Chains A and B, each alone.
Chain A
Amino acid sequence: MTTEIAEPASKVELPSHLSGDAGEIPSFECTIRIARFVPEQDEEPHWEDYQVTMYGTDRVLDALHKIKWEIDGSLSFRRSCAHGICGSDAMRINGRNRLACKTLLKDLDTSKPITVEPIKGLPVEKDLIVDMEPFFQSYREIMPFLITTGNEPTRERLQSQEDRARFDDTTKCILCAACTSSCPVFWTDGQYFGPAAIVNAHRFIFDSRDEGGDLRLEILNDKEGVWRCRTTFNCSEACPRGIEVTKAIAEVKQALFTRAF
């Protein structure tokens, strides 16, 4: 049996009276089951199991790193910041869309293999990497930028705290696509705008400084717009930022409704 030496929890040398056994991190064996797909070799994705020794402080992303760096260097996945901000590493972990960098292994059932798949509904390019273009296309369509008229002010565009609070929730989106790729309506044909695009439209529609709300509402009034939402709440559950996505979609529906009557 080989014993692995755990990396110290801190790189800083602690004086002896401060360090002790209290901070020791428990380690455990776990199996990571990854959906592998190499377009040059495989007809379709297949599962591959990897045995790794991980620690209580490790996340799924650490396990993926360990596999890529120590077991199989051909494993491909996206990640940038690795701290839940960039939105690169959304994947389907144990059947749920999550960020690999925000999912602690100890919170999952490590007695069974942990399944890791690419997010659904977008074309897989390799392993856990999907083509995000359809996702960003609908994001661009809702014009995610400030639209105003008249001369540009010489100072900031001021806004009251209440006006800012109106759309605060939807400013938190990191465009990881966890919501859109958890939506069963999006899975069907990928024509639906998807929760992420609607959330980002909401962020501007309800911004008191923006004057393009009408344009965006008109875009979302499309037959592939907000009316395709079936309020299954998959998106709200999937959002790693805790945005109330379904509520935001309902607010856009309501805005369309009050505009029409």
Chain B
Amino acid sequence: MSQATIPAPRSGYNRSKSGGSKFELAAWLYMRLSGILLVVLIFGHLYVNMIAGEGVQQIDFGFVAGKWASPFWQIWDLLMLWLAMLHGTNGMRTIISDYAEKPATRMWWQIILYASSLTIIVLGTLVIYTFEPCPAGADPSVLASFCTAD
């Protein structure tokens, strides 16, 4: 006498195993550490730009050029850019994974997120390191006043 097998009423959720990856742990830790660093970097940045010296009035093309002439401010701003962008991107990544319900929607949001983050990080880094306030051979009418004031 054969017994009819009763199928399981419902197949459970299929959870994809990430298999011993430390990525989530690292991301969690990164959020905390970069947060602490960013508090110092951002408030330092705000103080130097807006309060120290002549205050907010001093900010112009020349002021930025002056700051980026020093490796100290180049590294400060680069750190701020990378830490903040990765911090924000990771935050957005968690928001997308929490709120996007369809896998396709989730994928598209993630593509947009990673592409825009990458663009800003690359462009920002380029600007910090290749910033040339007075490019040689440029039309003098478009240059800042201090370039021609010899």
Contact residues in B for A151 (Cβ distance below 8 Å) = none
A227-253, CB < 8 A from B:
227-228, 230, 253
Chain A residues with CB under 8 Å of B15's CB are: 138, 141, 191, 222, 224
Contact residues of B between 1 and 57, Cβ < 8 Å to A: 9-10, 12-13, 15-18, 20-25, 27-29
Which residues of A in the span 203-261 have a Cβ within 8 Å of any Cβ on B? 218, 221-225, 227-228, 230, 253, 256-257, 260
Within 8 A of B (CB), among A103-146: 123, 131, 133-134, 137-138, 141
Q: Give residues in B with beta carbon < 8 Å to A.
A: 9-10, 12-13, 15-18, 20-25, 27-29, 94, 97-101
- The answer to whether B25 touches A227, judged by C-beta atoms less than 8 angstroms apart, is yes
Smallest beta-carbon distance A253→chain B, Å: 7
Check B12 against A227 for contact (C-beta < 8 Å): no
Partner of A260, one of B16, B22, B97: B22
Q: Identify the 8 closest CB pairs spanning chains A and B, nearest first.
A: A227-B24, A137-B12, A223-B18, A134-B13, A223-B24, A222-B18, A227-B28, A190-B13
Given contacts A123-B10, A189-B101, 9 further A-B contacts (CB under 8 A): A184-B98, A188-B100, A221-B24, A221-B25, A222-B18, A223-B18, A223-B24, A227-B25, A260-B22
Residues of A within 8 A of B22 (CB): 221, 260
A64 at the interface (CB under 8 A from B): no
Q: Is the interface of A mostly helix, strand, loop or mixed?
A: helix
Whether A133 lies near B10 (C-beta < 8 A) is yes
Question: Which residues of chain A are near B99, meaning CB under 8 Å?
Answer: 188
Residues in B with CB closer than 8 Å to A218 are 20
Q: Give the distance to chain B from A249, nearest Cβ to Cβ, in Å.
A: 12
* Residue on A nearest B14 in the bound complex, by CB: A191
**A218 vs chain B, min Cβ distance (A):** 7
Known: A137-B13, A188-B99, A218-B20. A230 touches B25 (CB 8 A): no
CB under 8 Å from chain B, chain A span 128-174? 131, 133-134, 137-138, 141
Complex Cα–Cα for A30 and B62 (A): 73
Q: In the complex, which of the residues A134, A222, A230, A256 contacts B98, with contact meaning CB atoms closer than 8 Å?
A: A230
| Residue ranges of A at the interface with B (Cβ–Cβ < 8 Å) | 123, 131, 133-134, 137-138, 141, 184-185, 188-191, 218, 221-225, 227-228, 230, 253, 256-257, 260
* Contact, CB under 8 Å: A221 / B20: yes
Contacts of A190 in B (CB 8 A): 13
> With A134-B12, A188-B98, A189-B101 known to touch, is A257 a contact of B17 (CB < 8 Å)?
no
Chain A residues, Cβ within 8 Å of B94: 230
Establish whether residues A223 and B10, one from each chain, have CB atoms under 8 Å apart when the complex forms.
Answer: no
A191-B13 in contact given A185-B98, A218-B20, A222-B18 (Cβ < 8 Å): yes
The distance in angstroms between the C-alpha atoms of A131 and B25, with both chains bound, is 32
Closest to B106 in A: A189
Min CB gap B33→A, angstroms: 12
Chain B residues positioned under 8 Å from A256 (CB to CB):
25
Q: How far is the CA of A138 from the CA of B100 in the complex (A)?
A: 21
Contact, CB under 8 Å: B101 / A188: yes
Question: Do B17 and A260 touch (CB < 8 A)?
Answer: no
Please, how many angstroms separate the alpha-carbon atoms of A189 and B100 in the complex?
A: 9
Residues of B within 8 A of A141 (CB): 15
Could you list some 18 contacts between A and B, CB below 8 A?
A133-B9, A185-B98, A188-B97, A188-B101, A189-B101, A221-B25, A222-B15, A222-B17, A222-B24, A223-B18, A223-B21, A223-B23, A224-B15, A224-B16, A227-B24, A230-B98, A257-B29, A260-B25
